[in-house]
Amino acid sequence: MLEIADKSDSERGFASVGFFIVAILTVFVMAPFIIHSLSDVIVIRTLAGPQVPIANAPGYRYKLTLEVEVDGQIKSASNVVDVRYVEKSFPEKHTNIAITGDALFLDLGPTRRPLIALLTAQPKPEDRSASPRNGWGESDPASVVGKAFASEPDFINGQIKAGFGALVGRGPRTITTADLPDLVTFTDINDPKTVMAVNPNNFEASLGEGVKWHSISIEIVDEIITQGIEQRLSWLSSYFDRMLDGHRPGQPNNHSLAANLSTASFLRRGY
């Protein structure tokens, strides 16, 4: 019995030593992966969060107002959008533009397609080489605001010294169709795939006869940010991970307008 007990104790000893060796080897083998994973977490946290709260970052709020005459009646709508310039330091120092607000939705009547002014504008060929950019930017209208308020006495070299926020209370400025963000409509408001571009200089082609501009203006304000476009476009919440034609980024697409638009053109919440 003593020999059996000794043999059992010996086996347990070898097993313990073996487990210890395996544990040590596991630590050495897995350490690079653990460190890499931790660094990924640090990187993700650095990229995901601004170094200062967005609300405290420099920026401004613009109010875009569109007035359209439809069969002799004036239809108008406005949207207030917040623009913040958030400083980042990873992977190198740069500035992110954080947008909060909704696209402008103008209801032209029960028998008409709506007119929607997006939050974004694709660069026009004549703007690609311009410095500074002409017209509405891909995320914000800084160039449009700068041009609209250029006659203000405190503008220095095309930029207002105190920032665009200092323009609050100075009233709206008339802008042209060349200054607008991209305009779209839907042949079926419940089907995002039916999105179509609206030529601001040819409403008849997409909105029908009897529709023409009355006025376009932009203003710097301290009003409440416009929200609620999800009530107009009920499908928006289902398309945050895909383009308007239904395909996800990286998947083959037909390069249509719907394939190149995402919910980010209609709604932003600080990105």
Task: Grade residue 151 by pLDDT with cuts at 50, 70 and 90.
Answer: confident
pLDDT in tens, 189-222: 999 999 999 999 999 999 999 999 999 999 999 9
On the question of pLDDT at 167 being above 50, the answer is yes
What is the maximal distance between C-alpha atoms in the chain?
Answer: 109
State the pTM of this model.
0.76
Question: Sorting pLDDT into bands at 50, 70 and 90, what band is 40?
Answer: very low
152 vs 181, residue with greater confidence? 181
Give which of 189, 167, 202, 187 is closest to 266, Cα–Cα: 189
* Nearest Cα to Cα of residue 106 among 69, 137, 139: 69
Q: What is the pLDDT of residues 106-120, one digit of tens each?
A: 999 999 999 999 999
Return d(Cα 117, Cα 28) in angstroms, integer: 57
